[in-house]
Amino acid sequence: MPGPGDRGGKKEKPRDAKGTLRRILSYLNEYRWAVIGLSCCAFASNIGNLLGPDFAGKAIQAAGAGAGQVDFGVVFYYGKCMLFAYIFSGILTFLVNLGMMRVSRKIVRKMREDVFNKLMTLPVGFFDRNQAGDIISRVSYDIDVIGTSLSTDVVQIITSVVTVAGSFVMMCMISLPLVVCMLVTIPTAILYTRYMGRLTRPRYSRRSAAYGRMNGFVEEMFTGQKTILAYAYEDGVCEEFSAINHAAADAYRDADSLGMTMGPTIGFINNLGLSMIGLVGALFYLWGIVDLGQISSFVLYSRKFSGPINEIANIINEIYSALAAAERVFRLLDEPEEIKDVYGAKVLEQVDGDVEAQHVSFGYMPGKTILHDLNLKANPGQTIAIVGPTGAGKTTIINLLMRFYDVDDGAILVDGNEIRRVTRDSLRRTYAMVLQDTWVFRGTIYENIAYGKEGATMEEVVAAAKAARIHGYVMKLPDGYQTVISEDGGNISKGQKQLLTIARAMLYNTHMLILDEATSNVDTSTERQVQQAMRRLMAGKTCFVIAHRLSTIQNADRILVVNHGDVVEQGTHEELMVQKGFYYKLYASQFE
C-alpha cells in the first residue's frame, strides 16, 4: 500500500518540451509588436555594451604609447565614449526589463483567465478525480513560475544571443588565431549543457507534481480541521504531512542540486578557454602579432562572449522549471470538456415537470455498473422521495437527472424530451438544488440568497428568507441583509448556511426542485416549519428529495427505495409500511 509520500500516482515522465515552448510562445504572439520593440531595444542596448571594450582597448593603446608620448586627450575621449556607451546600455536594459515584466504580467493574467474559464467547462468527473489543492497549485504556483521565467529569462536569452554574436564578430576582427584558441572549449560547453538538460527536465516535472500533491493534502487537512481536532489526530496528520513534505523537498533537491552544477561547470570550461587566450595572447604580443590594446579588447570580448553562456547555463534550470509548470497547466487546458450539446439540441423553456427514467444503467467506471435498469416516473407536481442505505445510488440518480453524468444505457426524459437532446444549460435551469454540502461565498447575505436569480429585489429576497425561516436571524445582525459572510461562511453556523441555500432555492423560480438531505443541519422544529413552507412554495412543481430521516418524507407522493443500485420497492409511505419489506426495516430501525 503506498504511503503518504506516494500520493498522486507514479512519477511523471518528461513531456514534449518543444511543443510546450511553442504554446508559451503562442501567448507571446498577442504582444508580438511589444516583444519586437523590446527586442530592438535589447539589441541597441547590447550594441552599446559591445562598443565599451573597443573604446577601452583604444584608451589602453593610447595610454601605453610610451613615456612622453601619451595623448591624455585621446585617453579621456575614449574613456568618455566608453562611459556613455555603458550608461546608454544600462538605461535601455532597465526599460527592456520593465517592459518585459509588464508583458509577462499580461500573459499570466490571460493564462489564468484561460485556466479558470476551462475549469468552468470541465465535467463534474474531473473534480471528482483531482484534488482541489492540486488544481489550485496549477492556477497559482505553476503560472507564477511561467510568468517569472517570461519576465526574466526571455530578456536574458535575447540579450545573450546578441552579446555572443556581437562579441564573436568583434573578436574575429581583432585576431582570428585567438578566436580559434577560445573556440576549443565551446563544443564541450554545448555538449555538456545538452546532456544536463536531458537529466534535469524530468526532475523539474516531478518537482511540480510533488508540490501539487502537497498543496492538495494541505487543502484537505484545512477543510477537515475540526474533524482532525475532534479525533485528536494532529500527530498523525503532522506525520503524513512530514512524509509528503519530505517527498516535495527531495524532488526540489534532486532538481536543483543537479541544476546548480551547470553554472560552475560551464564557468570552469570557459575559464580554461580564457587561460588559453591569456597564454597565446602573451606569446602573440611578444612576437608583435597583436598590440596591448587588441589583447585587452579581446580579453574583454571573450568575457562578454563566455558570460552569456554561463548565464544561459544558470537560467536553463529556470526554463526547465517553467516548462514543467507549463506542461501541467497545458494538460489541464487540454482536458476534455463536458460533451457539447448535440446539433439542434432543444432549449427547454416551459417545463411541466414530467420526468421519466427508462431502463437506466450507469457506472462511474467502465465495467462497474452502479445503477441497474432504473425505472422512475414523476408526474408534474409530485414529490418523489429517494431513500436507501449509504452507497445505494441515491445521489447518482440526482447526478443523472442534472446531466452531471450521462447514462450508459436507457434514457431520461423531461416532458417527453430525452435530456441528451436538450441543452444542458436549459435543463439545469429547470431545477433548483439544495445539497447537504452547503456552499456560500464571500459576500453579503443578500448576494448569497439572490445568487441564482439575476436582478432579484430586496422584497423577493426577504420573502424567500422568511419562507426558509432565516429572516429573524438576519434581522438580528448589525447590518441585516448587508452583513458580509466570510469566505466559506466561517462566521455563521452550518445550519444557518443551509437555511441560506434553501432560501436561495426558494427564490429561484423553477418547475423542479432537488433536495439532497437539505435540512440535515437544522433542528427538528425548524425543519418542520421549513418543510411546510417549501410544500406551499413548491405546490404544482416536481420535487426530488433524498432523505435519511424517513419521518421527513412520509407525505411524498412516491417513495423509491434503492439498494445496491436497484429500486427494490416503490410506493407511498403507507403502502410500503404495509408490505413490511426493505423500507419497513429501514423505517423501524430509526425508531428502535
Cα dihedral value 314, 315, 317, 322, nearest 10 = 170
Q: What is the mean pLDDT of residues 222-241?
A: 73
Q: Are residues 261 and 380 in the same domain?
A: no
pLDDT digits (tens, 9 = 90+) for 260-282: 776 677 777 777 777 777 777 77
CATH of the domain at 122: 1.20.1560.10
Residue written as grid cell 555594451: 49
Q: What is the mean pLDDT of residues 201-207?
A: 74
Residue 261 identity = T
> Has residue 22 been placed in a domain?
no
Residue written as grid cell 424530451: 417
Q: How far apart are CA 23 and CA 217, in angstroms?
A: 30
Q: Are residues 164 and 247 in the same domain?
A: yes
The residue that leads in pLDDT, 122 or 46, is 122
| pLDDT at site 592 | 56
Q: What is the mean pLDDT of residues 2-26?
A: 56
- The cell for 459 is 422584497
Taking CA atoms, 72 is separated from 19, 79, 80, in Å, by: 57, 10, 12
Residue written as grid cell 508583458: 103
Instruction: Show which of 509, 532, 566 is a domain's final residue.
Output: 509
Residue 5 identity = G
Q: Range with the lowest mean pLDDT among 148-152, 286-290, 418-422?
A: 286-290
pLDDT digits (tens, 9 = 90+) for 90-114: 888 888 888 888 888 888 889 888 9
Q: Are residues 424 and 376 in the same domain?
A: yes
Given pLDDT bands bounded at 50, 70 and 90, which one contains residue 13? very low
Q: Are residues 177 and 284 in the same domain?
A: yes
pLDDT for 11 beyond 50: no
Pairing of strands 512-516, 558-563: unpaired
Q: Are residues 161 and 258 in the same domain?
A: yes
Number of other residues whose CB lies within 10 A of the CB of residue 220: 14
> Has residue 391 been placed in a domain?
yes
Mean pLDDT estimate for the chain: 78
Dihedral pair phi/psi, residue 400, rounded to 5°:
-75, -40
Total of domains in the chain: 3
Q: Range with the lowest mean pLDDT among 55-59, 360-364, 386-390?
A: 55-59
Q: Are residues 504 and 542 in the same domain?
A: no
pLDDT for 536 beyond 70: no
Q: Range with the lowest mean pLDDT among 16-30, 172-186, 362-376?
A: 172-186
Q: Which residues contact residue 261 at a Cβ distance below 8 angstroms, ignoring those fewer than 6 apart?
A: 196
Q: Are residues 402 and 540 in the same domain?
A: yes
The residue that leads in pLDDT, 579 or 154, is 579
Q: How far apart are CA 296 and CA 285, in angstroms?
A: 11
Most confident of 161-165, 179-183, 454-458: 454-458
Q: What is the mean pLDDT of residues 496-517?
A: 81
Q: What is the mean pLDDT of residues 376-385?
A: 88
Q: How far apart are CA 185 and CA 96, in angstroms?
A: 31
Number of other residues whose CB lies within 10 A of the CB of residue 572: 15
Given pLDDT bands bounded at 50, 70 and 90, which one contains residue 535? low
pLDDT for 530 beyond 50: yes
The residue that leads in pLDDT, 324 or 293, is 324
Number of other residues whose CB lies within 10 A of the CB of residue 158: 21
| pLDDT at site 12 | 40
Taking CA atoms, 467 is separated from 496, 500, 526, 533, in Å, by: 14, 11, 11, 6
| pLDDT at site 223 | 65
Given a contact cutoff of 8 angstroms between Cβ atoms, the answer to whether 403 and 424 are in contact is yes
Instruction: Show which of 333, 361, 382 is a domain's final residue.
Output: 333
Q: Which residues contact residue 585 at a Cβ distance below 8 angstroms, ignoring those fewer than 6 apart?
A: none
Given a contact cutoff of 8 angstroms between Cβ atoms, the answer to whether 155 and 96 are in contact is yes
Q: Are residues 413 and 279 in the same domain?
A: no
Q: Is 135 exposed, middle or buried (0-12, 13-18, 19+ CB in 10 A)?
A: buried
Q: Which residues contact residue 132 at a Cβ distance below 8 angstroms, ignoring those fewer than 6 apart?
A: 216, 219, 220
> Has residue 32 been placed in a domain?
no
Nearest to 431 by CA among 534, 513, 508: 513
| pLDDT at site 412 | 92
Q: Are residues 517 and 504 in the same domain?
A: no
pLDDT for 207 beyond 60: yes
Number of other residues whose CB lies within 10 A of the CB of residue 582: 17
Structural domain boundaries, residue 310 = 108-333
| pLDDT at site 411 | 92
